[in-house]
Copies of this chain bind each other. A is one copy, B any other.
Amino acid sequence: MTDSVKYVLDEGDLPTSWYNIAADLPQPLPPVLHPGTKQPITPDDLAPLFPPALIMQEVSTEREIDIPDVVRDIYRQWRPTPLYRARRLEKALDTPAKLYYKYEGVSPTGSHKPNTAVPQAFYNMDAGIKKLSTETGAGQWGSSLAFAGALLGLEVLVYMVKVSFGHKPYRRAMMQAFGAQCLASPSDTTRSGRAILEKDPDCLGSLGIAISEAVEIAATRDDTMYALGSVLNHVLLHQTVIGIEAMKQLEQAGDDPDVIVGCTGGGSNFAGIAFPFIGEQLRGGRQRKILAVEPAACPTLTRGKLAYDFGDTAHLTPLVKMHTLGSTFVPPGFHAGGLRYHGMAPLVSHVVDLGLVEAVSRHQMGCFEAGVLCARTEGILPAPEANHAVRVAIDEALRCKEEGKSETILFNLCGHGHFDMSAYQAYFNGELEDLHYDEGELAMALAGLPSVTV
């Protein structure tokens, strides 16, 4: 243990710009379509939802986009985040592989989400906006936007999926602590919410429904804009601070990753760690094995279709080309709420489609097992979402052992599990099992994809 296991950067090494992968793509992203006309949207179409700066970032093809000083000042509270060499985990696995992980759990809300919550709040504040509406599933995103809103003086309204609103009162209390208002979705505050409650007063909600409500509020109120925690290009852009820092830290460690692993729900933490490395490769750098890990019970990349689909249930969002299970698909209730989304970020879908990234899936029991091993060796208890990345990083390390190879593996530990102890408790009590989606339901959801001819 005499070698260093932690690589911190000087504050001066905090990135000054985000990396925009659109600059290096061999083929551009397919256009985003208007939900009504099904024609390519213009920046103007997005103006009711997002401030101009974020719309420009959404469509920009500039490689480097400056991080505003105010954002960097707030980033500094927890960034640069540490990169760790997982020596004790390596030893437990008896692997010749070198394991490194970037740890985003040191942020004020315990995950990578504030990386984009802060710039989104900043650009809205800068444009004179007073209020942001958003949705949240398990609550990571909602509490992160609440945090950013508190620091930058914006009101935040969060539509929280009703089943989580009931099950996760602590995340709600966290949002309240940061001064945000949190409503159970479906609610009677929106047309889309009321329409659903009329049909089914006991509806437990879904991320798709909550997005519909938050978008509707923003679209119909002048002082309110919408904020999304994943999927969109500008969100993924903001997360690239993770990978940019990791690159510098690995250089400091005198190492270079052969394998990079991230978990994927909407795609933002994965893009954050992987895109800067993929960009290097696209500009002629070395090729690496890049793995996107999704839950086997919500297998958007490995079982979904690459097709135009809506991001929400009420079909208020634009149509984007992405890997999707269909907006009506409801995954079973496994314990990684942040990965229970029917779609995938268009940019992540695109790099998978281009063969730059390999998608794999894992069931939850093996992921919890990996998370507990991480806790007992590295002393960090990951969130159930992050366990998917830990699982595959361990699997890769075990492959290296079998093959007698000393590869370098980097994974993103995107958040701690301190808010997910009920899931761990259920795991320890033997109450969990691997869950499977219904093949018939998936087929139906896929058959219901909107028909689009572009």
| Interface residues of A, Cβ cutoff 8 Å to B | 1-2, 4-6, 8, 11, 69-70, 73-74, 76-77, 84, 88, 106, 108, 110, 147, 150-151, 169-174, 176-179, 371-372, 375-377, 379-381, 417-419, 421-422, 424-425, 428
Interface of A (DSSP majority class): helix
Indicate if the CB atoms of A379 and B6 lie closer than 8 Å.
no
By beta carbon, the residue of chain B nearest A7 is B11
Indicate if the CB atoms of A425 and B172 lie closer than 8 Å.
yes
A76 in complex: contacting residue of B5, B106, B169, CB < 8 Å:
B5
For residue A1, which residues in chain B have a CB less than 8 angstroms away from its CB? 69-70, 73
With both chains docked as a complex, state the minimum distance between the C-beta of A94 and any C-beta of chain B, in angstroms. Answer: 16
Indicate if the CB atoms of A173 and B77 lie closer than 8 Å.
no
For residue A77, which residues in chain B have a CB less than 8 angstroms away from its CB? 5-6, 84, 379
With both chains docked as a complex, state the minimum distance between the C-beta of A216 and any C-beta of chain B, in angstroms. Answer: 27
Question: Bound state CA distance, A419 and B381, in angstroms?
Answer: 14
A379 in complex: contacting residue of B11, B150, B419, B421, CB < 8 Å:
B150
Indicate if the CB atoms of A178 and B428 lie closer than 8 Å.
no
For residue A2, which residues in chain B have a CB less than 8 angstroms away from its CB? 69, 73
A sample of 22 cross-chain residue pairs with beta-carbon separation below 8 angstroms, ordered by A number, consists of A1-B73, A2-B69, A5-B77, A6-B76, A8-B11, A110-B418, A150-B379, A169-B422, A170-B422, A170-B425, A173-B425, A174-B421, A177-B372, A177-B375, A177-B381, A177-B424, A178-B375, A178-B376, A178-B379, A178-B381, A418-B419, A419-B421
**What's the number of copies of this chain in the assembled complex?**
2
Indicate if the CB atoms of A424 and B176 lie closer than 8 Å.
yes
Question: Bound state CA distance, A76 and B378, in angstroms?
Answer: 12
Question: Bound state CA distance, A417 and B88, in angstroms?
Answer: 28
With both chains docked as a complex, state the minimum distance between the C-beta of A76 and any C-beta of chain B, in angstroms. Answer: 5
By beta carbon, the residue of chain B nearest A424 is B173
Question: Bound state CA distance, A172 and B424, in angstroms?
Answer: 10
Indicate if the CB atoms of B174 and A5 lie closer than 8 Å.
no
For residue A173, which residues in chain B have a CB less than 8 angstroms away from its CB? 421-422, 424-425, 428
For residue A372, which residues in chain B have a CB less than 8 angstroms away from its CB? 177
With both chains docked as a complex, state the minimum distance between the C-beta of A139 and any C-beta of chain B, in angstroms. Answer: 10
Indicate if the CB atoms of B379 and A108 lie closer than 8 Å.
yes
For residue A428, which residues in chain B have a CB less than 8 angstroms away from its CB? 173, 176-177
Indicate if the CB atoms of A106 and B106 lie closer than 8 Å.
yes
Indicate if the CB atoms of B425 and A169 lie closer than 8 Å.
yes
Question: Bound state CA distance, A6 and B377, in angstroms?
Answer: 30
Known A5-B73, A76-B5, A375-B177: A380·B418 in contact at CB below 8 Å: no
Indicate if the CB atoms of B151 and A379 lie closer than 8 Å.
yes
Question: Bound state CA distance, A170 and B168, in angstroms?
Answer: 13
For residue A177, which residues in chain B have a CB less than 8 angstroms away from its CB? 371-372, 375-376, 381, 417, 424, 428
For residue A375, which residues in chain B have a CB less than 8 angstroms away from its CB? 150, 177-178
By beta carbon, the residue of chain B nearest A8 is B11
> Closest 6 A-B residue pairs measured CB to CB?
A170-B421, A173-B425, A173-B421, A150-B376, A173-B424, A177-B375
Question: Bound state CA distance, A417 and B177, in angstroms?
Answer: 10
By beta carbon, the residue of chain B nearest A374 is B177
Indicate if the CB atoms of A169 and B6 lie closer than 8 Å.
no
By beta carbon, the residue of chain B nearest A171 is B421
With both chains docked as a complex, state the minimum distance between the C-beta of A424 and any C-beta of chain B, in angstroms. Answer: 5
By beta carbon, the residue of chain B nearest A174 is B421
